Amino acid sequence: MSLRLGDEAPDFVQDSSEGEIHFHEWLGNSWGILFSHPADFTPVCTTELGLTAKLKDEFAKRGVKAIALSVDPVESHQRWIGDINETQHTLVNFPILADADRKVSTLYDLIHPNASTTATVRSLFIIDPNKKIRLIITYPASTGRNFDEILRVIDSLQLTDNHKVATPGNWKSGEDVVIVPALQDAEEIKQRFPKGYTVIKPYLRLTPDPRS
């Protein structure tokens, strides 16, 4: 059965480029991104893993751990990491799961018969500290992931978890947000949003980012 938003991210124990991973234990109280790759030594994925390494500080600021997955064994991963470090001018600083037995791929529905019966599709999961899946994106093999968008979504999720707001289309951290329609009590709105708000329509009320 396919995973859906709000489902618990399946736990697992699997080998990786950094040793055995007990997934829920490894996540701890952090947010996490788990992203899959069809195989080692693929060009688009090489650039993505390089970007992930370069964004270590951005992920750390948000309390996010990154972990990748490929169905190749650890020995292959280690050779690939050497290529990534060389070509992307970085150092891979996160584990790559060695899912040779397809255990994790099966748990996360990453083997799609209409895509490939042997390699994983390119899906990415954002998982919160309660181990709930908050975002799933599946990319075609020809299109690299937009990591600015992944960071933007994490910013939105973390903001909206702590405030009664939603984020508009193309929103970026620090920009105005939308007060959720369910919040109607004027006094509560005043207390929650002391910077004030603008009514565009009764259902569309903008207020400054409460974290700014």
Which residues are known catalytic residues? 45
Burial classification of residue 18, based on how many CB atoms lie within 10 Å of its CB (0-12 exposed, 13-18 middle, 19 or more buried)? middle
SS (H, E, C) 32-51: EEEEECCCCCCHHHHHHHHH
Give whole-number Cα distances, 142 to 12, 37, 44, 45, 122, in Å.
Answer: 29, 12, 7, 10, 10
C-alpha distances out from residue 35 to 67, 137, 187, Å: 7, 9, 43
d(CA 72, CA 16): 10
Contact status, residue 160 vs residue 207, Cβ threshold 8 Å: no
**Coil, strand or helix: which one is 68?**
strand
